[in-house]
Structure 1
Amino acid sequence: MSSNVGSSGVYEAGDQRNLKNSEIPHPDRFEEGKENSHLPNDSKDQRTIANRLANEERKSDEKPDDPETALLKKDPTLPAKMHGNEPSKGAKIDAELQAEEEEYMERKGKA
């Protein structure tokens, strides 16, 4: 049978063929899924502890601390002072606690 509707090119499936499963590029098992489809702290997520640990290690390797975060770890009041603001009450308390802990560790180390 022949058709009078169009040329034979219309009926060829050259660009409509599906790839075999072996030809489809697959991501690594850990990298599968949509972005942000799993929340890392979701208690109902069935990821293993090893996968959660690997995720945290990967996160810590990806982005090093920026200079402001590094300064924050040294002195909690420093970022506010750098921006010309008075440190918050919480930052002042954090600085006091940090100083007390350092003093305690020094005494503990000498004793």
Structure 2
Amino acid sequence: MLRQKALVDVLGQVNTSGVDGSWLFNKEGLLLAYVGTEQKEVASNVSSALLASVWTALERRANDLKETILVLEDGVIVCTLVARSMMLAIRASNQTDLGLVRAKLHSLSAYLEQPILSISHDLG
């Protein structure tokens, strides 16, 4: 069973060395967990809906999309699928090494894969 507090604790572990936010949400954009500094311009639930929309648009062009990197004015956001049904995103500053951000994304995704798969099997 995946507990909310444990999920927040796990997501919070990547928020170091220039990484200032991490989201877990479904492909429709419904936010399940968020850890990080809340931006005043855009709430975290709105961000997850926007990221899911961007992912869907990119996925239409590439059927085997595994990861995407969005370069913004004030940082980068990297996204990937977890267990084929959830999305994981990490936001970092422009000064953060992109390789480090991707490594955090991949390790967190691998860590969450089994618990999310077990939940999806329980619900299905």
TM-score of the pair, normalised by structure 1: 0.25
Tell me which protein shows more strand as a share of its residues.
2
TM-score normalised by structure 2 residue count: 0.23
Rg larger in structure: 1
More helix by share: 1
